[in-house]
Chain A
Amino acid sequence: AAGVIQSPRHLIKEKRETATLKCYPIPRHDTVYWYQQGPGQDPQFLISFYEKMQSDKGSIPDRFSAQQFSDYHSELNMSSLELGDSALYFCASSSPPYGYTFGSGTRLTVV
């Protein structure tokens, strides 16, 4: 069965650079979520999209933005990267109220 696909798996960027993370949800799932998981921490909700419209926003810095495209894939754009942005970034898709399916995540390292 198709899963949530995230790319890239690993990304190394320097401070003040920009990074773009991509997420391809499970077909026919209408909601996409982005989470950030710092080292040893639980995942924190960043932002979600329902039918290509932003539906909710969590603790997402102003330096970050996201969108969902007509083919339902989503991109998380992060600018002016800081060392503290180093984390695992998960995308998940679902058809509420059922459980999410998470991608394998993108590990971002800012040096």
Chain B
Amino acid sequence: GDSVTQMEGPVTLSEEAFLTINCTYTATGYPSLFWYVQYPGEGLQLLLKATKADDKGSNKGFEATYRKETTSFHLEKGSVQVSDSAVYFCALTIRSNDYKLSFGAGTTVTVRA
């Protein structure tokens, strides 16, 4: 079935470090890909998305490029801040699954000052 596999955490970084969270997907067809962020004690917020191959989603300094050839959607940020500490979920929707969101397991990121 359609699924998402993302890098296991937790990840601990210092402020201004480079962050990469790997995400790969398995899908029969052409999914839309998303990154959601969940700050402590809060709900899920859409961070960025890409709906077709080679699209790049970007928001708040985060970027991810939809790579069909490697079935990947890795999340990157060049210089993290303490406020980026959160759980990050990679997810996909696809028409064949009625556009239900399928989440990865989540990666906990902690940024230290």
Give A contacts to B, CB under 8 Å: 31, 33, 35, 41-43, 45, 48, 55-56, 58, 88, 90, 92, 94, 96-105
**Which residues of B are at the interface with A, using a C-beta cutoff of 8 A?**
32, 34, 36, 42-46, 49, 51, 89, 93, 95, 98-106
When A and B form their complex, what is the total count of cross-chain residue pairs whose Cβ atoms lie within 8 Å? 60
Query: Chain B contacts of A99 at CB under 8 A?
Result: 32, 34, 46, 49, 93
Question: Hey, which chain B residues are within 8 Å of A42, CB to CB?
Answer: 89, 103-106
State whether B89 touches A103 (Cβ < 8 A): no
Contacts of A31 in B (CB 8 A): 99
In the complex formed, the residue of B with least CB distance to A58 is B100
Q: Known contacts A43-B44, A90-B44: does B101 contact A100 (CB below 8 Å)?
A: yes
Contacts of B95 in A (CB 8 A): 96-97
Q: How far is the CA of A107 from the CA of B55 in the complex (A)?
A: 35
Of all chain A residues, the one with the shortest Cβ separation from B45 is A102
Closest to A103 in B: B43
Known contacts A43-B89, A56-B100, A99-B93, then 11 further A-B pairs from the complex at CB < 8 Å, ordered by chain A residue: A33-B100, A45-B101, A48-B100, A56-B98, A94-B99, A97-B51, A98-B51, A99-B49, A100-B101, A104-B43, A105-B43
